[in-house]
Amino acid sequence: MNNCIFCKIVKGEAPSWKVWENETVYAFLDINPVSPYHTLVIPKKHFVNIFDISDFELREVISGVREVVKMYEEKLGIKNLQIVNSNGHAGQQDVFHIHFHIVPREEGDGQNIRWKTFPEWRSEFDEMILKLKGQ
C-alpha cells in the first residue's frame, strides 16, 4: 500500500525504533507511547484489519506478540501488560494496517481502560443467541 505509514516503516522508508522482527512480522515502539516500551506488532504485508487478514498471517502476528512479550519479561521483568487491537473507524482504529498494541502496565501508572457496562442488556441475551442461529 503506497500511502500506508506502517508499510513505509516495514520498507525502511519511514523511521522506526525496531524491537523485534522475523520473516513475516515487525515490532516497533509506538511514536506516542502511553507507557514505557509501548509497542506495535504488525504483519510485514499490508492487511487492513481483522476482517481481511489471512489465518496464517494472523497466527504469525499473534506469535510475534508473544515473542516480544517473552523478551520484555526476560530482559525487563515486565509482568503486567495489555494487548489491544482495534478494528474499523467506530472500533477506534486510526492506522488501517492491522496492529496489536503491547502496553506494559504498572500499579499507579495513571492509565486506565474501563468500558461503560450495561448489565440490563442481559435480558436480551436469549434473543441475541437466537439471531446467531438465524431464527
Stretch of 52-60, 75-83, 86-94, 107-115 contacting ligand 5GP, by CB under 6 A: 86-94
Binding at 4: pick from Zn ion, ligand 5GP, none (beta carbon under 5-8 Å per type): Zn ion
Contact 42, 10 (CB under 8 A): yes
What string of DSSP letters covers the chain? -TT-HHHHHHHTSS---EEEE-SSEEEEE-SS-SSTT-EEEEESS---STTTS-HHHHHHHHHHHHHHHHHHHHHH----EEEE---STTTT--SSS--EEEEE--TT-S--------GGGGGGHHHHHHHHTT-
Which one, 6 or 72, has the nearer CB to Zn ion? 6
Per CB under 6 A, contacts with ligand 5GP among 32-71 are: 32, 40
Binding partner at 93 among Zn ion, ligand 5GP, none, C-beta below 5 to 8 Å by kind:
ligand 5GP
Chosen residue from 49, 82, 86, 87 binding ligand 5GP by CB under 6 A: 86
Confirm or reject binding of residue 50 to Zn ion (CB under 5 A): no
Whether 101 sits among the annotated catalytic residues: the reply is no
Whichever of 18 and 131 has its CB closer to ligand 5GP, that residue is 18
Q: What residues are labeled active site?
A: 99
